[in-house]
Amino acid sequence: HYKLSVVVMCFLIPTFVPWFFWEESLWIGYLVPCLLRYTVVLNATWLVNSAAHMWGMRPYDHNINPREN
């Protein structure tokens, strides 16, 4: 049920709520709440990873496994 709930909660509900309540187009309802949120969350995740390598106690080492970094 996890994959279905991800699709419903991350894409369907955020698309249809603006369309139903505020009469936005489905394209805008999909683009802004779904794709923009997804892009911002990915970039924030990558920022944390990059900041941890840049200012953290352990710099990036390409000779070890990713789980050890």
pLDDT tens, residue by residue, 21-66: 999 999 999 999 888 888 999 999 999 888 877 787 766 677 877 6
Whole-structure pTM over 0.75, yes or no? no
* Domain segments of the chain as ranges: 2-68
What pLDDT was estimated at residue 12? 93
Q: Which helix (H) or strand (E) holds 3?
A: helix 2-7
In a 10 Å sphere around its CB, with 0-12 CB exposed, 13-18 middle and 19+ buried, how is residue 69 labelled?
A: middle
